[in-house]
Amino acid sequence: MELTLNLNARLQPMHRHILEDKLQEILEKEKLGEVTGGGTLQSSKGGEIVSCDIEIHLNNSSLNNIDRLAELTNQLGIPKGSALLSTESKIKVGTLEGLAYYSNGTELTDEVYENCDINHVIEQMETAMEGIGRFYSYWEADEWTALYFYGTSFFEMKKRIEPFITSYPLCQKSRIEQIA
């Protein structure tokens, strides 16, 4: 049986591959099937990542195996709004909420861009979110750099990073959106 795990996740292909590898290990261990491919959907406006798919071949299409696969995907750490799709059904999966942080790439002073580092932003946000969320992927464009975090609570992640955002110069004129 062929299934598609449609991820409500903004993952670059290299980050989606990490998830594919983890899923493949689980499928092999459980003798359920294998990952057969995947893809990333980008928006036609600006090219930002919208969602991802992981194609799965399930060895046995019994309801127990499909339910087990749904249970295992939730253990991987995937966002709410994701689904296991087949020609006959759609099973909602995902337990995590998503936070997109958009760093302004054009409206700050040259000094800020020269003296601040987006990697420092990622490190500080991950530290602040420890135990409830983590960094999954990013997207870069001329005007914005988006950092994608997923965790147990959008509001808690946002609350924890706000003190850093208000104090670090590179975080001026940024914006935050809930994405899952």
Task: For the domain made up of 97-178, give the CATH fold.
Answer: Alpha-Beta Plaits (3.30.70)
Give, for all 180 residues of the chain, the pLDDT tens digit: 899 999 999 999 999 999 999 999 999 999 999 999 999 998 878 889 999 999 999 998 877 888 899 999 988 889 999 999 988 889 999 999 999 999 999 999 999 999 999 999 999 999 999 999 999 999 999 899 999 999 999 999 999 999 999 999 999 999 999 999
The per-residue pLDDT for 19 is: 93
The per-residue pLDDT for 176 is: 97
Domain ranges within the chain, ordered by starting residue: 2-93, 97-178
The per-residue pLDDT for 66 is: 87
Would 2-93 and 97-178 be classified into the same CATH topology?
A: yes
The per-residue pLDDT for 46 is: 81
Task: For the domain made up of 2-93, give the CATH fold.
Answer: Alpha-Beta Plaits (3.30.70)
The per-residue pLDDT for 47 is: 86
At CB < 8 A and 24+ separation, what contacts does 80-87 make? 80/8, 80/180, 81/8, 81/180, 82/5, 82/6, 82/7, 82/8, 82/9, 83/5, 83/6, 84/3, 84/4, 84/5, 84/6, 85/3, 85/4, 85/5, 85/6, 86/1, 86/2, 86/3, 86/4
The per-residue pLDDT for 142 is: 85
The per-residue pLDDT for 22 is: 94
